[in-house]
A and B are shown apart, each in its own frame.
Chain A
Amino acid sequence: MQTLEQIKDRIAAALPGARLAVIANASPAGQPSLLLDHEHALEAARFLRDAPELRFDYASNATGVDWPERTVKERVKVKKMIDGVEKETEELAERKIPGCLEAVYHLYSMELGQGPLIIRLRTGNRTDRVTLPSLTPVWRSCEFQEREIFDLFGIVFEGHPDLRRILMWDGFEDHPMRKDYAPAASGEAKA
């Protein structure tokens, strides 16, 4: 199997203008993933499925991840003028990471027996820009799974043939898998 960097270069060559990024994975599993942009996601997915040396014809797993806004404290080196001399000191700086919702797809190739290739899509934020392109037109196995992501995380998939709640009931309003979900607020018995 080609490395993720090679696959990324191939997509970039096939789809000029696509913004791609490799997301590293520090765990011993060593499964880095590829972040796609919204405009080219569907095209890139088609390319991954149809390109003869890639042939990722099977989207095994599609799921959502919720990343609320968080601040991380980091040590950063700053140059400061102290007594007229420029010195480098370390300071504790807070960095805000904006929140987003993420859809993660695990792709395999049944034809070539390779995988997994992990692709990710990220929404603009967690409140009003939660639309992502649906990959169900490329892999039908995403149909129920994207419905589930919509139901439990609240990502709206554009181009999905039948985007309804799947596990929760239709009148339900919140999205239970979000990290800030509070059961009492939606009228359920508190766990």
Chain B
Amino acid sequence: MNAPPPPLAPTGRSQTAGDLLEVSMGPHHPSTHGVFRMNVVLDGETVVKLTPVFGYLHRNHEKIAEKNSYLGSIPYTDRLDYICSMTNNWAYVLSVEKLAGIAVPERAEYIRVIVGEMTRLFNHACLAGFLLQDMGALGTPLMYAFREREKILDLFEALSGSRMMCNYMRFGGCRCDLPEGWPEKAARIGAGFESFLDEFEALLTGNEILRARSEGVGVLPRELAVNSGVTGPGLRASGVNYDIRKVDKYGIYDRFKFRVPLGERGDVFDRYMVRILEMRESLMILNQALHDLPDGAIIDPKVRLRNLRPKAGEAYGRIESPKGELGFYLISDGGPIPYRYRVRPPSLINLTVLEDMCMGHTIADVVIILGSIDIVLGEVDR
């Protein structure tokens, strides 16, 4: 295998040295993963300046939530990162549980882990598919990933009634219990995902084109990643061992054995590879959780879903969502609606370093660097 090419140095040319071209990429560009726009200044094909432009999908989610009850905001969280509605639910209910001091029954905790890890599985698989789509592998890897996602979405539909907008978790537990035969089906699909991953890796990881396009591209140095608040696989690809499942041990994550994959160089390939390895760890967690799944109550019967009035105060709760640290900051004034409701969107904050990662690369690389960050515009613009 050839050594990876060194990262390109930013062009030292002054802006007057050549004719610069400003390209408005997006908001309707097929590779910007939604209505995201970048103003890219190009010198030839090389990026010398990149300004992200947000807000095309802005609906002021936070303001809407300050007019709804605590319960009424759960379906809205589904629509933040609309690929991973289960983890969004989880982050929100975790924050409300912190705010109101609610305990969760053990069975509900296990179910949360199971659906959360399934969400991570298909999010990462689809991200790899989208990344390859951006590289020019039109369709094939993405459709394979979607096929596997479809099976998990069927499980989610059987569980919650909806494929993507699950609206499943409640403070103090989950909305309904698992249907008959669900854990067995989940175990079967988990096993199928394992062999899918082997195939997916045989298809992609060794592929020379993928390596040539991704190695040494969009390098994110460790210090910059930490300082600019990058979280999730993007941070770990830069070699920082920070996984909130390990650090905070929220829920029952201290009961499971899993490793945190780390990258070395922090380039696009590392971000791809960290996700592939994370899927394997997720499968390990999934198997353990399905094996240990206890019987019991699904929700704390004392919790008032309607008309919940937490004591005046504030709480910040966060989880490791597939995109990074998803946090909810809630302030209660003792009333039935939150006084302040804030989403800490990993997708938006991970974009802080987009310009630094793209500098000096060609415009074709901008597409895959953006693809490797993994954004969902529902969450970026809220």
Contacts and interface: CB of A to CB of B under 8 A. Distances in A.
Contact of B329 (A61, A110, A181): A61
A57 B227 contact: yes
Interface in A74-130: 104, 106, 110, 113, 116, 118
A60 B312 contact: no
A4 interface: no
Given A28-B98, A106-B327, A110-B240, A57 B381 contact: no
Interface string A28-50: 11010000000000000000000
Contact of A61 (B60, B62, B344): B344
Contacts of B58: 167-168
Nearest to B62: A177
B342 A28 contact: no
A152 B58 CA distance: 12
A104 B310 CA distance: 20
A29 B314 contact: yes
B35 to A, nearest CB: 12
A157 interface: no
Contacts of B311: 26-28
Interface string A138-156: 0111111100000010000
A143 B311 CA distance: 32
B318 interface: yes
Interface stretch (B158-166, B184-192, B347-355): B347-355
B305 interface: no
B241 to A, nearest CB: 9
Contacts of A177: 60, 62-63
B313 interface: yes
Nearest to B228: A140
A20 B90 CA distance: 35
A31 B99 CA distance: 10
Given A141-B228, A176-B63, A167 B54 contact: yes
B60 A25 contact: no
B54 A140 contact: no
Interface string B43-62: 00000000000110010101
A145 B327 CA distance: 13
B229 A140 contact: yes
A176 B55 CA distance: 13
Contact of B226 (A57, A142, A143, A181): A57
B340 A60 contact: no
5 cross-chain pairs, A with B, having the tightest CB-CB distances, nearest first: A141-B229, A27-B313, A28-B101, A29-B315, A140-B228
Given A59-B229, A140-B352, A167-B382, 20 more contacts: A25-B314, A26-B311, A26-B313, A27-B310, A28-B101, A28-B315, A29-B317, A60-B325, A61-B316, A63-B342, A139-B227, A140-B227, A141-B227, A141-B349, A145-B349, A152-B60, A167-B58, A167-B60, A177-B60, A181-B63
8 contacts: A28-B100, A58-B226, A61-B316, A110-B240, A152-B60, A167-B58, A167-B382, A176-B63
